[in-house]
Amino acid sequence: MFLAETPFYAERGGQTADTGWLDWNDGKASVIDVQPQGEAIRHRVEVRPDRLKPGDRVRAVVDAPRRQAIARHHSATHLLHRALRDVLGEQAIQAGSSVEADYATFDFRFPRGLTTDEVDRVYRLLNEKIRANLERHVEELPLDKAMATGAVALFDEKYGDLVRVVSFGDWARELCGGTHVERSGEIGLALISGDRSIGAGVRRIELRAGAAAERQVSDDEQVLHELGEALRTAPAELPSRVAALQAEVKRLEKEAASLRQRLAAGGDVRLEEADVSGVRLMLQRVDADEKDLLVFADAALNRANGNGVAIVVGGRNFAVKVASPLAERLPANDLIQAFRQVAGGKGGGRGPVGQGGGIDPERVGDAFKSVQDYIRTQLKAHG
Ligand SMILES: [Zn+2]
């Protein structure tokens, strides 16, 4: 749709299009996109074709808060461009940008990645110039005159005889056709990401300004808060807490690896086996901590192709694991009670797994026989 006059900014120069509404006597329609078409400006409007006809009068209304958010981001890219060149030197020159209402990206030519210190200096200079509340000026000048005043122009861009120069104070001066805040202070706050490579010699920085920056700060704080809760530590302690956890994971991985090695080698594993009414019953005496006994029980069942019952004894502790198909007829808890009747101690189980301690190691052999008797009786009772 074309209007005789339009207040809408059409997408160009990396700046996104305005959106808004058309109002007329008995109707209203949303303008969802605005694109240049030759010399004209084409509006994409959500309206039934019979509601508007050529020649109708409409009132065109731009979504002003959105335009203001876009202007904040656009002005922030100009200040970022200047700050980059102040910190990195004049060879850091803009290669493109994309300006939206809730973020902007800024691409520039530079032969290497930025250091943390450089990113930090750019960030501080950018926000210092925002706080300085620099006044915006717009001038139309012949191109050669504009260049003589030190305005930054983009090499790949085509300019007419008269160019528009946008300046903030006497600090950032650029050829630009976009929309801008009146004073840099309106940007409020600008957050930048570190740079990343998007092609040979071209880097990209992402930028958030105004309310979008505010939202990002509170989102980040929420993440830090949740991490702090999860790891039970103050946000400032998170890096050292995570480092400690990583070290702990490494230690456990090492321990698990050595445990697996010992299991595979069979080293100090002593195994007795019995076939009780078709059930493979394994007794293993190992030299291992209480918490590792179930690992040995799992390994024993694995070697028995996941079938049978494994009892693992380490010192005065023991663990029982029953292959799941058998667990209903032979619950670990019942096996443990049969074992304890002879070996003493305490213990219990749930489903296929159980553990106990305080047994008399001398009586393990007899206790193993008692478990065999129990299984025999139990399976006979169940047919
Ligand atoms: Zn611009």
Count of Cβ atoms closer than 10 Å to residue 273 Cβ: 12
The pairing of strands 40-46 and 196-199 is unpaired
pLDDT at residue 219 in the model: 96
Residues 165 and 79 in one domain: yes
Tell me, in angstroms, the distance from the centre of ligand 1 to residue 74's CA. 6
What are 19-28's pLDDT values in tens digits?
A: 999 999 888 9
The encoded tokens of residue 328 equal 């209903």
Ligand 1 ion: nearby residues, β-carbon < 5 Å: 176, 178
pLDDT at residue 160 in the model: 72
Inter-residue contact 332 to 321 (CB < 8 Å): yes
Tell me, in angstroms, the distance from the centre of ligand 1 to residue 234's CA. 42
Kindly write down the DSSP assignment for every residue of 152-169, as one continuous string.
B--TTS---SEEEEEEET
Domain final residue, candidates 228, 252, 281 = 228
What total of structural domains would you count in the chain?
4
Q: What whole-number distance in Å separates Cα of residue 31 and Cα of residue 43?
A: 7
Residues 284 and 176 in one domain: no
Residues 36 and 99 in one domain: no
Q: Within a 13 Å sphere around the CA of 211, how many CA atoms are in the beta-carbon half? A: 10
Domain coverage including residue 288: 266-381
Residues 103 and 245 in one domain: no
- Give the amino acid at 287: D
pLDDT at residue 233 in the model: 92
Residues 37 and 134 in one domain: no
Residues 79 and 15 in one domain: no
Tell me, in angstroms, the distance from the centre of ligand 1 to residue 245's CA. 47
Tell me, in angstroms, the distance from the centre of ligand 1 to residue 99's CA. 9
Residues 255 and 272 in one domain: no
What mean pLDDT comes out for the span 158-177? 88
What are 278-298's pLDDT values in tens digits?
A: 899 999 988 888 888 888 888
Tell me, in angstroms, the distance from the centre of ligand 1 to residue 172's CA. 11
> Confidence band (pLDDT; 50, 70, 90) for 383?
low
- Give the amino acid at 165: V
Q: Of 195, 217, 247, which Cα lies nearest the Cα of 84?
A: 195
Residues 318 and 251 in one domain: no
pLDDT at residue 295 in the model: 86
What are 309-345's pLDDT values in tens digits?
A: 999 999 999 999 999 889 999 999 999 999 999 999 9
Write the burial class of residue 193 (CB in 10 Å: 0-12 exposed, 13-18 middle, 19+ buried).
Answer: middle
What are 78-110's pLDDT values in tens digits?
A: 999 999 999 999 999 899 999 999 999 999 999
Residues 106 and 141 in one domain: yes
What are 258-269's pLDDT values in tens digits?
A: 877 776 665 556
Residues 319 and 185 in one domain: no
What mean pLDDT comes out for the span 344-353? 94
Residues 289 and 185 in one domain: no
Q: What whole-number distance in Å separates Cα of residue 34 and Cα of residue 56?
A: 19
pLDDT at residue 158 in the model: 67
- Give the amino acid at 191: L
pLDDT at residue 155 in the model: 55
What are 57-77's pLDDT values in tens digits?
A: 999 999 999 999 999 999 999
Residue 8 confidence (pLDDT) above 70:
yes
Residues 260 and 295 in one domain: no
Tell me, in angstroms, the distance from the centre of ligand 1 to residue 315's CA. 77
Tell me, in angstroms, the distance from the centre of ligand 1 to residue 348's CA. 74
What are 358-377's pLDDT values in tens digits?
A: 999 999 999 999 999 999 99
What are 118-149's pLDDT values in tens digits?
A: 999 999 999 999 999 999 999 998 888 888 88
Question: What CATH number corresponds to the domain at position 141?
Answer: 3.30.980.10
Question: What CATH number corresponds to the domain at position 285?
Answer: 3.10.310.40
For the chain, helix (H) and strand (E) counts, in that order, are: 8, 18
- The full length of the chain comes to 383
Give the global pTM: 0.69
pLDDT at residue 291 in the model: 84
